[in-house]
Amino acid sequence: MREIDLNADLGEGGGEDAALLGLVSSANIACGGHAGDEETMRRTIDLAMASGVAIGAHPGYEDREHFGRRAMSFPLDRVTDLVARQVEKLAKLAEAAGAPLHHVKPHGALYNQADRDALFAAAVVAGITKISPRAMLYALPNSRLAEAGQAVGLTICPEGFADRRYLANGSLMPRNEPGAVIKDVDEAVARAIGLAGSGNVETLCVHGDGPTAVAILRRLRNELEADGLKIHSKPRA
């Protein structure tokens, strides 16, 4: 049976995490940088475990005013330290709850800068491998982030986005451009179905803070399963 993973960004203060965890197969949990704190991390880990959902760390810039979505310029060693500190925090809480850290997915501007910049991507990956060298890395296919992870032996889970539009080069359209975020359920589901059928991605993301996230995931899951796909997180190496 063909399989695909559905992931969402959780533990960010939204009110629908429980509903989303009933629809996804892996969760990217905010690590106290752009959102979240130890209490939300523990609660989201517990909910994920109860739902049978794989647990991932979602490190981001410590810039809550802009929700970690504003690009920043840091020395590369500071980028590595930021990622390592946040991944370690989530990994320790997950381990204490009896769950291994399944994957890491950088958040917002951290993800987008690592998509484009090879040195920046290597700094992000160094932070991950310093703490969890067996965790998978969720990244855009053929991105600098995916290449940096592959270079040090991380298992890459190529990711597509149901609720975002892309540039011609395969990167995500900046959020400040008109139409970058897709809120329409029909359009988002059609985009995700197309990505799933392309064979280029192994996980599909719906942003948990989106106003139609639950509706998108519910419809998407139903259509994928009707098409014969099993919704399942990729086994960790």
Tens digit of pLDDT for each residue in 164-211?
A: 999 999 999 999 899 999 999 999 999 999 999 999 999 999 999 889
The pLDDT-based confidence of 14 (bands split at 50, 70, 90) is confident
96 CB-near residues (< 8 Å, 6+ apart): none
- List the alpha helices (DSSP H) in 26-75: 38-51
* Alpha-carbon gap, residue 234 to 202, rounded angstroms: 8
* Alpha-carbon gap, residue 141 to 147, rounded angstroms: 9
32 phi-psi bin (left φ>0, alpha ψ -120 to 50, beta other): left
**In the block, residue with structure tokens 């991105």:** 143
Q: What is the pTM of this model?
A: 0.96
* Alpha-carbon gap, residue 103 to 48, rounded angstroms: 14
Mapping DSSP to helix (H, G, I), strand (E, B) and coil, where does residue 176 land?
coil
pLDDT at 202: 97
pLDDT at 15: 86
* Alpha-carbon gap, residue 58 to 56, rounded angstroms: 7
Which sequence spans correspond to the domains of the chain?
Answer: 2-231
* Alpha-carbon gap, residue 237 to 235, rounded angstroms: 6
* Alpha-carbon gap, residue 16 to 14, rounded angstroms: 6
The pLDDT-based confidence of 1 (bands split at 50, 70, 90) is low
Per-residue pLDDT, averaged over 139-160, amounts to 98
DSSP, res 168: T
Mean pLDDT for the chain?
Answer: 96
**How is domain 2-231 classified at the architecture level of CATH?**
Alpha-Beta Barrel (3.20)
